[in-house]
């Protein structure tokens, strides 16, 4: 995954140069004329001839007066060319629409013997190496080859450039590497060195030794250089005035050395996303970063107390402007002394709480109101509580306020916003139930340009917040779970709708009818979410809408036949859990770009139309829990992108053995209906990617085909409540999918979420642990085998113990014989095991005592005998787990055993209870996906206003990081296992 920095580069770097460029062009044309030396002019023309210049950026390179050509500067005495500046934004005025230079750099460049300044940055040399002859330009003191698409080894010839003051070879979009740093030693005059994104494979020790020779160094940029270690003591002994040190994006995987905090000359220190962990050094309560303006320690695994850190920074309280400590595991409270940092412009402490153990806690200090320069405050996802101080309303310069996901109490009123005239993005939510926003209905907010508002988990209602109507720039309105009841102001929604990108009023108690008329703009790709309310009426026909979520309302009537005509831009449609009846209209298939269709839990009747050919973009179809009848249309399998098909709980009936020809993309197939016949033939050929097969409660006969074992991703197999006979194929023990850690399937979901995947709300039901588990919002991440209530006979195959990541197995109500495989204890992830109502016999294998996650065990009504193990989990099961086995004895049964055999396997692993978090995880995945789709469209309009862009990007990243954080925490193994988070 690209780091925040990486993605930013795409937009911010070119834009920055766009703004810088105009000025430059003016100044470079002031040079006196007629000095141009003929030989040098010929050289320039040779250079021009070899360059590709599709946008004619070098059109001024004609005539004799080469000193006045764009990008050229001559010595005003001798006429020698001193400066060749071909930086894209300097020569092509409009960098966004004009193409950069490309092609070849003619070696005659070296004939410009007096050249002291060479800049080829931001062009596109198509991945060629940096030409060695550049090393012959020994008068150079300025060399900028950054972001010009050079790749390969950096030539050691650069060591001849002993006069260099400035060297930048950072290359973000292609990979340069250095495996021998010795050339660096010669460049002792450097003041500026940037090797950002260069893959340095020589030892960091060599690097810092070389750098230490550069006693005049002011700026050192080593971001994403693949450096594996930080020196334990300061490597910069000879360097006395280093001002900028950027080490971000390196895989240091170590703690933070204290010398970094002793560098009193630094104005900027960047260690973002550098795999740093452990405590932030406290250094007797004092850091020497007394000139620091920009300190970034974000996105690491640092621990420490925020109070101590703010105190340790006290000598910089006049200079500090940017402080990013986000995405760490900091604790402690914000001290009142925070108010002394009067230059602070951007404070980001977000996402320090990922597990309710860490996180910035306590109330927000009142002194926050003294931070008169503060533009952006982000405290998202911490443990802060208390009431929000009214002084926050004094922050006149604040444009972005993010107070999501804390435990705020009390109320916010107009006073909290009193002077926030510049606010453009406002986000507040609390996990504390009392938190409320109380403003009078006639309140006119001081912020007139707000474009994003999110107030969730906060009492805003009971009436709709009428103050929103004063905000003419709003385009994202999220009032989720905000206690709003009554009706929405239809006239206002109509007026706003033309500018809406995102409207989310879900999880309220909004009643009345859906607004009839809306005026959405299809080019905004608006996302509209009214889920979980009490809105009634027929399906609204809002043209222009791209995503429409109306789940859990009181929608009634039939699906209108003109839905495809009126809402032809729909990509995501969720009308589930309503009261829709009638048939699925044949015209629906004219919504050509629909990729997600959820009509589940309604009262639809009739057959599923054979009309799917028209909707080639469909990825997810959920028609479950209706009254649909007939068979499965064959055209459904022709959908090239379909991966989830949910048709359970209908009255569908057909011979399954011949259905599903060539459903080659399908990953989930859920069909709890009245199907008959045997399991589909040639299942590996027809459904090669199948991961979840849910066929509970049909009338399937025949045996379990061995073919099933050749589905490499299968990890949920539910064939319960059928008439399947024969034995359990031993080859089930070979299915690769059951051996994959559950994190693998989370990973799949994650990757979907960022390929334009939709906010799909799953509602798979699985009978586990003796009860129905509803998987809302997520795929079951456990591996599951449920073959219960069939006519299976024979033994439990020994090989099944190879499925080491199996989470649940239910073989109950069959006719199985024999014993439990001895080494069943190998199934260390198993949480639920039900073997009840079979004819199994023999002892309970002692190895089971080592299954430390086992929380549900049912062995009842078999012929088991002997001693019940007592160790570990076995202490927690009650009699019901064993009833109906006459031969069993020992606790918890009343029968004592004559001889005592202790269970073995003293494991002490704690059970990780992730249910709650993983549910939320799914929710965030959906939310993030929703935003990300919208995001690409918006970003065009954000180009103009820098502060807007900043706030918006922040917001998008926050959404994304929320997802990321939950994943990282809930499944700590994931981070290590897949490494997608950092690379
Ligand atoms: C020549 O250029 C230098 C800087 O490059 C400048 O300081 C000086 O004033 C210029 N002399 C004339 C005569 O323009
Ligand atoms: C850096 O170079 C090393 C050695 O050539 C290579 O193994 C590694 O994959 C490279 N890393 C990146 C991120 O390009």
Average pLDDT over residues 676-689: 84
pLDDT in tens, 399-451: 999 999 999 999 999 999 999 999 999 999 999 989 999 998 789 999 999 99
Average pLDDT over residues 567-589: 94
99 versus 148: the higher-pLDDT residue is 148
Lowest mean pLDDT among 38-47, 321-330, 349-358, 808-817: 349-358
Rounded to whole angstroms, the Cα distance separating 927 from 912 reads 25
pLDDT band (50, 70, 90) for residue 690: confident
Question: What's the gap in Å between 136 CA and the centre of ligand 1?
Answer: 26
Question: What's the gap in Å between 303 CA and the centre of ligand 2?
Answer: 30
Q: Which two tokens stand for residue 303?
A: 């621990």
pLDDT in tens, 788-808: 999 999 999 999 999 988 888
The answer to whether 141 touches 107, Cβ cutoff 8 Å, is no
pLDDT band (50, 70, 90) for residue 652: very high
- So what's the pLDDT on residue 931? 29
pLDDT in tens, 914-938: 333 333 333 333 333 322 222 222 2
* Residue 841 clears pLDDT 50, i.e. is over it: yes
pLDDT band (50, 70, 90) for residue 688: confident
Which of 199, 204, 227, 982 for mutating ligand 2's site (highest number of atoms within 8 Å of CB)?
199
Q: Whose CA is nearest to atom 5 of ligand 2?
A: 201
* Residue 776 clears pLDDT 50, i.e. is over it: no
Question: What's the gap in Å between 199 CA and the centre of ligand 2?
Answer: 6
Question: What's the gap in Å between 29 CA and the centre of ligand 1?
Answer: 14
- The highest-confidence range among 7-11, 91-95, 437-441, by mean pLDDT, is 437-441
- So what's the pLDDT on residue 774? 42
Of the ligands numbered here, which is closest to the C-alpha atom of 78?
Answer: 1
Average pLDDT over residues 482-504: 92
* Residue 672 clears pLDDT 60, i.e. is over it: yes
Which of 207, 226, 250, 979 for mutating ligand 2's site (highest number of atoms within 8 Å of CB)?
226
Rounded to whole angstroms, the Cα distance separating 241 from 677 reads 80
- So what's the pLDDT on residue 932? 28
Rounded to whole angstroms, the Cα distance separating 930 from 276 reads 31
pLDDT band (50, 70, 90) for residue 828: confident
pLDDT band (50, 70, 90) for residue 273: very high
* Residue 559 clears pLDDT 60, i.e. is over it: yes
- So what's the pLDDT on residue 821? 94
Classify residue 24 by its DSSP letter: H
Rounded to whole angstroms, the Cα distance separating 746 from 778 reads 9
Rounded to whole angstroms, the Cα distance separating 335 from 306 reads 8
- So what's the pLDDT on residue 744? 55
Q: Which two tokens stand for residue 30?
A: 């002031």
Average pLDDT over residues 804-819: 92
pLDDT band (50, 70, 90) for residue 3: very low
* Residue 697 clears pLDDT 70, i.e. is over it: yes
- So what's the pLDDT on residue 440? 86
- So what's the pLDDT on residue 429? 95
- So what's the pLDDT on residue 760? 52
289 versus 983: the higher-pLDDT residue is 289
Contact partners, residue 972, CB within 8 Å, separation at least 6: none
Average pLDDT over residues 662-689: 85
Question: What's the gap in Å between 181 CA and the centre of ligand 2?
Answer: 16
| Residue of 367, 433, 423 lying closest to 400 (CA atoms) | 423
For residue 199, which atom of ligand 2 is closest to its CA? Answer: 1
- So what's the pLDDT on residue 752? 41
Mean pLDDT value across the chain? 83
Which of 197, 201, 251 for mutating ligand 2's site (highest number of atoms within 8 Å of CB)?
201
Ligand 2 pocket list (CB less than 6 A): 175, 177, 199, 201, 226
Average pLDDT over residues 17-21: 35
The number of C-alpha atoms within 13 Å of 712 and in the hemisphere containing its C-beta is 4
The answer to whether 82 touches 73, Cβ cutoff 8 Å, is yes
pLDDT band (50, 70, 90) for residue 939: very low
For residue 983, which atom of ligand 2 is closest to its CA? Answer: 13
Start-to-end CA distance of the chain, whole Å, equals 5
Average pLDDT over residues 369-392: 96
Share of the chain above pLDDT 70, in %: 83
Q: Whose CA is nearest to atom 9 of ligand 2?
A: 199
- So what's the pLDDT on residue 745? 53
Average pLDDT over residues 698-716: 91
Q: Whose CA is nearest to atom 8 of ligand 2?
A: 199
Lowest mean pLDDT among 258-262, 329-333, 637-641: 637-641
Of the ligands numbered here, which is closest to the C-alpha atom of 198?
Answer: 2
* Residue 738 clears pLDDT 90, i.e. is over it: no
- So what's the pLDDT on residue 402? 97
Spell out where 831-890 has E strands.
832-834, 841-842, 856-858, 863-867, 887-889
- So what's the pLDDT on residue 644? 85
- So what's the pLDDT on residue 891? 86
Rounded to whole angstroms, the Cα distance separating 345 from 372 reads 9
Of the ligands numbered here, which is closest to the C-alpha atom of 117?
Answer: 1
pLDDT in tens, 178-189: 998 988 889 999
- So what's the pLDDT on residue 460? 92
13 versus 150: the higher-pLDDT residue is 150
Question: What's the gap in Å between 75 CA and the centre of ligand 1?
Answer: 8
Question: What's the gap in Å between 120 CA and the centre of ligand 2?
Answer: 25
Classify residue 127 by its DSSP letter: T
**3-state SS track over 791-828:** EEEEECCHHHHHCCCEEEEECCCCEEECCCCHHHHHCC
Question: What's the gap in Å between 629 CA and the centre of ligand 1?
Answer: 89
The answer to whether 298 touches 348, Cβ cutoff 8 Å, is yes
Question: Taking the alpha carbons of 857, 860, 865, 868 in that order, is the dihedral positive or negative?
Answer: positive
* Residue 663 clears pLDDT 50, i.e. is over it: yes
- So what's the pLDDT on residue 461? 81
Average pLDDT over residues 304-316: 94
- So what's the pLDDT on residue 9? 31
Average pLDDT over residues 146-166: 94
Q: Which two tokens stand for residue 758?
A: 């939709």
* Residue 563 clears pLDDT 60, i.e. is over it: yes
pLDDT in tens, 452-466: 999 999 999 899 998
* Residue 980 clears pLDDT 80, i.e. is over it: no
Q: How far is CA 51 from the centre of its chain?
A: 40
* Residue 220 clears pLDDT 90, i.e. is over it: yes
Q: Whose CA is nearest to atom 3 of ligand 2?
A: 201
Question: What's the gap in Å between 177 CA and the centre of ligand 2?
Answer: 8
* Residue 27 clears pLDDT 60, i.e. is over it: no
Query: How distant, in Å, are the alpha carbons of 303, 551, 669, 724 from that of 573?
Result: 44, 9, 20, 37
Rounded to whole angstroms, the Cα distance separating 297 from 457 reads 30
Which of 127, 177, 178 for mutating ligand 2's site (highest number of atoms within 8 Å of CB)?
177
Rounded to whole angstroms, the Cα distance separating 485 from 490 reads 14
Lowest mean pLDDT among 25-29, 106-110, 452-456, 975-979: 975-979
- So what's the pLDDT on residue 284? 73
pLDDT band (50, 70, 90) for residue 872: confident
For residue 175, which atom of ligand 2 is closest to its CA? Answer: 14
Question: What's the gap in Å between 168 CA and the centre of ligand 2?
Answer: 20
């Amino acid at each position: 995954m690209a780091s925040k920095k990486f993605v930013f580069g795409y937009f911010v770097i070119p834009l920055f140069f766009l703004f810088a460029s105009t000025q430059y062009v003016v100044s470079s044309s002031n040079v006196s004329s007629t000095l141009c030396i003929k030989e040098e002019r010929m050289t320039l023309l040779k250079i021009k001839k070899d360059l590709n210049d599709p946008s004619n950026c070098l059109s001024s390179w004609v005539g004799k007066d080469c000193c006045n050509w764009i990008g050229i500067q001559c010595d005003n005495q001798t006429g020698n060319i001193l400066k060749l500046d071909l930086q894209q934004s300097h020569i092509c005025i409009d960098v966004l629409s004009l193409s950069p230079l490309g092609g070849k750099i003619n070696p005659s460049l070296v004939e410009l013997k007096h050249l002291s300044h060479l800049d080829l940055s931001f062009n596109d040399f198509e991945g060629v190496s940096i030409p060695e002859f550049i090393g012959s330009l020994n008068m150079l003191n300025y060399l900028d080859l950054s972001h010009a698409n050079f790749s390969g080894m950096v030539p050691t010839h650069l060591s001849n450039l002993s006069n260099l003051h400035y060297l930048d070879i950072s290359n973000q979009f292609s990979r340069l590497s250095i495996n021998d740093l010795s050339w660096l030693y010669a460049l002792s005059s450097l003041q500026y060195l940037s090797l950002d994104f260069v893959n340095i494979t020589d030892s960091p020790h060599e690097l810092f030794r070389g750098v230490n020779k550069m006693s005049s160094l002011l700026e050192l940029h080593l971001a994403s250089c693949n450096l594996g270690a930080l020196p334990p003591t300061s490597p910069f002994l000879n360097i006395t005035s280093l001002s900028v040190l950027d080490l971000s994006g390196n895989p240091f995987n170590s703690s933070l050395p204290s010398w970094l905090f002793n560098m009193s000359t630094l104005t900027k220190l960047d260690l973002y996303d550098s795999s740093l962990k452990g405590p932030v050094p406290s250094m007797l309560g004092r850091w020497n970063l007394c000139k620091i303006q920009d300190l970034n320690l974000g996105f690491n695994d640092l621990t420490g107390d925020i109070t101590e850190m703010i105190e340790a920074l006290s000598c910089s309280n006049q200079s500090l402007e940017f402080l990013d400590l986000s995405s760490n595991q900091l604790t402690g409270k914000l001290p009142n002394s925070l108010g002394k940092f009067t230059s602070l412009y951007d404070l980001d402490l977000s996402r320090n709480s990922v597990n309710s153990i860490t996180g910035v806690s306590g109330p927000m200090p009142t002194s926050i109101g003294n931070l008169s320069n503060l533009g952006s405050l982000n405290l998202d996802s911490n443990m802060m509580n208390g009431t929000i101080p009214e002084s926050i309303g004094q922050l006149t310069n604040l444009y972005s306020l993010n107070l999501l996901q804390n435990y705020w109490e009390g109320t916010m009123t107009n006073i909290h916003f009193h002077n926030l005239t510049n606010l453009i993005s406002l986000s507040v939510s609390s996990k504390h139930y009392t938190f409320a926003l109380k403003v009078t209905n006639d309140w006119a907010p001081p912020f007139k340009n707000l474009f994003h508002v999110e107030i969730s988990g906060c009492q805003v209602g009971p009436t709709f917040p009428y103050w929103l109507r004063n905000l003419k720039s709003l385009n994202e309105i999220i009032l989720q779970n905000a206690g709003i009841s009554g009706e929405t102001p239809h006239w206002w929604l109509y007026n706003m709708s033309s500018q809406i990108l995102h409207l989310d009023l879900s999880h309220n108690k909004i009643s009345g009818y859906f607004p009839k008329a809306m005026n959405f703009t299809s080019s905004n790709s608006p996302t509209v979410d009214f889920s979980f309310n009490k809105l009634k009426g027929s399906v609204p026909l809002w043209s222009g809408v791209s995503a429409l979520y109306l789940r859990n309302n009181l929608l009634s009537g039939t699906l209108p036949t003109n839905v495809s005509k009126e809402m032809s831009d729909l990509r995501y449609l969720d009308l589930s859990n309503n009261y829709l009846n009638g048939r699925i209209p044949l015209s629906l298939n004219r919504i050509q770009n629909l990729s997600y269709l959820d009509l589940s839990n309604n009262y639809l009747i009739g057959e599923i139309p054979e009309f799917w050919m028209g909707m080639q973009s469909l990825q997810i179809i959920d028609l479950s829990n209706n009254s649909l009848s007939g068979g499965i249309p064959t055209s459904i399998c022709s959908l090239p992108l379909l991966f989830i098909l949910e048709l359970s709980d209908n009255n569908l009936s057909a011979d399954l053995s011949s259905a599903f020809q060539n459903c080659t993309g399908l990953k989930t197939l859920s069909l709890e209906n009245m199907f008959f016949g045997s399991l589909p033939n040639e299942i590996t050929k027809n459904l090669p990617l199948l991961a979840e097969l849910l066929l509970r409660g049909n009338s399937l006969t025949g045996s379990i085909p061995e073919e099933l074992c050749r589905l490499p991703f299968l990890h949920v197999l539910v064939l319960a409540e059928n008439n399947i006979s024969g034995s359990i194929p031993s080859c089930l023990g070979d299915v690769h999918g059951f051996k994959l850690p559950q994190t693998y399937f989370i990973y799949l979901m994650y990757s979907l979420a960022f390929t334009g995947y939709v906010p799909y709300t799953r509602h798979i039901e699985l009978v586990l642990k003796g009860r129905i588990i509803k998987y809302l919002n997520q795929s079951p991440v456990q591996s599951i085998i449920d073959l219960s209530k069939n006519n299976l006979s024979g033994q439990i195959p020994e090989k099944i113990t190879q499925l080491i990541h199996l989470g649940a197995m239910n073989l109950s109500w069959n006719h199985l014989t024999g014993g439990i495989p001895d080494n069943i204890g190998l199934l260390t992830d198993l949480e639920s095991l039900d073997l009840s109502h079979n004819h199994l016999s023999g002892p309970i294998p002692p190895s089971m005592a080592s299954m430390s996650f086992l929380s549900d065990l049912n062995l009842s009504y078999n012929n088991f005998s002997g001693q019940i193990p007592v160790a570990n989990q076995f202490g927690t099961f009650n009699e019901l787990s064993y009833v109906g086995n006459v031969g069993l004895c020992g606790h918890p049964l009343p029968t004592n055993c004559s001889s005592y055999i202790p269970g073995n396997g003293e494991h002490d692993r704690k059970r990780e209870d992730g249910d709650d978090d993983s549910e939320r995880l799914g929710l965030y995945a959906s939310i993030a996906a929703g935003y990300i789709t919208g995001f690409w469209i918006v970003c065009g309009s954000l180009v103009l206003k820098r502060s807007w862009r900043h706030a918006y990007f922040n917001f998008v990243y926050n959404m994304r990081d929320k997802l990321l954080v939950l994943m990282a925490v809930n499944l700590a193994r994931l981070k290590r296992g897949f490494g997608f988070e950092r690379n």
